[in-house]
């Protein structure tokens, strides 16, 4: 069974600084997808970034980028120029690349990020 | 605007009572999902549905029931058999099988 581990329950960063959130996963699959979701205090889940395992290039969305290390099964999220609005719980998630709609997202336990002014 | 609407935002359950959480989407998505969120445990899958009149158990289905009579609607009933129902419940939907999930704004269920 696949598992997702986020070893940092809480992190803090100063505004305008860069922070990296860690995520590791365990799978025997070769075809899969990885996601980072953000849950601000409103509790609305928002997709931050999506990575396809067959793509070697790391995904990037504005100030958010990932460091995808397939062999090490590592998928860290880097937030550059941190803003107060980045304060949120961040979840890493894994999904197999087959199985249709039965294919569920498996979530880590989350990292609570606080951006300090 | 298209999206997923969950109601109510807050819900209180008395001992031995069944309660139903509403989830409606106008995104024309086939697949819909219910997740439970507890502090420190991330999100866990309760039930999911691929098409109308079909649904499957997730990892923690005991004490819950669902129906999918319309494509747009996927209500979740928390039955009296669920002994620890206090949690934040999130409904989600997806168009393609490997695309992102769209989430509703959630329902916080508490026991009186």
For the stretch A13-25, pLDDT in tens is 999 999 999 999 9
The residue-averaged pLDDT of B52-59 equals 93
DSSP track, B16-71? T--EEEEEEE-S--SEEEEEEE-TTS-EEEEEEESSTT--EE-TT-TTEEE--SBT
pLDDT of A78 > 90? The answer is: yes
Confidence of residue A101 (pLDDT cuts 50, 70, 90): low
| Residues of B at the A interface, defined by Cβ within 8 angstroms | 30-31, 33, 40-45, 48, 50, 56, 58, 88, 90, 92, 94, 97-98, 100-101, 103, 105-106
Proportion of chain A above pLDDT 90, given as a percent? 85
Nearest-by-CA chain A residue for B56: A102
CB atoms within 10 A of CB B31: 21
Cβ atoms of residues B92 and B52 within 8 Å: no
Instruction: List CB contacts of A2: < 8 A, sequence separation 6 or more.
Output: A25, A26, A27, A29, A94, A96, A106
């Amino acid at each position: 069974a696949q598992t997702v581990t986020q070893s940092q329950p809480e992190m803090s960063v100063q505004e305008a600084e860069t922070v990296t959130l860690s995520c590791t996963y365990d799978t025997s699959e070769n075809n899969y997808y990885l996601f980072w979701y953000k849950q601000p205090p409103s509790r609305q889940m928002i997709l931050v970034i999506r990575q396809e395992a067959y793509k070697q290039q790391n995904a990037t969305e504005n100030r958010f980028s990932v460091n995808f290390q397939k062999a090490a099964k590592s998928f860290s999220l880097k937030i550059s120029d941190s803003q107060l609005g980045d304060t949120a719980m961040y979840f890493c998630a894994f999904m197999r690349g087959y199985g249709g709609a039965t294919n569920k997202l498996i979530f880590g336990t989350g990292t609570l990020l606080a951006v300090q002014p | 605007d298209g999206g997923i609407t969950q109601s109510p935002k807050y819900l209180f359950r008395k001992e031995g009572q069944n309660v139903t959480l509403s989830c409606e989407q106008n995104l024309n998505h086939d697949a819909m999902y219910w997740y439970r969120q507890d502090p420190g445990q991330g999100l866990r899958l309760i039930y999911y549905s691929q098409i109308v009149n079909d649904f499957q158990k997730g990892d923690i289905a005991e004490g819950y029931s669902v129906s999918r009579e319309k494509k747009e609607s996927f209500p979740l009933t928390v039955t009296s058999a669920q002994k620890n129902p206090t949690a934040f419940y999130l409904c989600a939907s997806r168009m393609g099988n490997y695309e992102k999930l769209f989430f509703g704004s959630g329902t916080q269920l508490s026991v009186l």
